[in-house]
Structure 1
Amino acid sequence: MDRFTTLTAVAAPLLRPNIDTDAIIPSREMKAVAKTGLSGGLFANWRYTEVDARVENPDFVLNQAAFRKAPILLSGPNFGCGSSREHAVWALHEYGVRAIIAPSFGAIFQGNCIRNGILPVVLPETVVAALAAGAEAGSARLTVDLVEQAVVAADGTRHAFSVDPADRLMLLEGLDAVGLTLKRLDTIRRFETDHKSARPWLFIRPADAQTTSGSAP
Structure 2
Amino acid sequence: MDNLSITFTGHSLGAALATLSAYDIKQMLCTKHNFHQIPVTVFAFASPRVGNLAFAKRVEEIGVKVLRFVNKRDLVPKVPGVCMNENVGCLSKLLHWLPWTYFHVGVELPLHNNSPFIQHTHNLAYFHNLELYLHLLDGYVGSKQPFSWSGRDHALVNKSCDLLREKYEIPPKWWQEQNKGLVKGPDGKWTQPSEKE
Higher helix share: 1
TM-score (norm 1): 0.28
- Return the structure number with greater relative CO, CA threshold 8 A, min gap 6: 1
Larger radius of gyration: 1
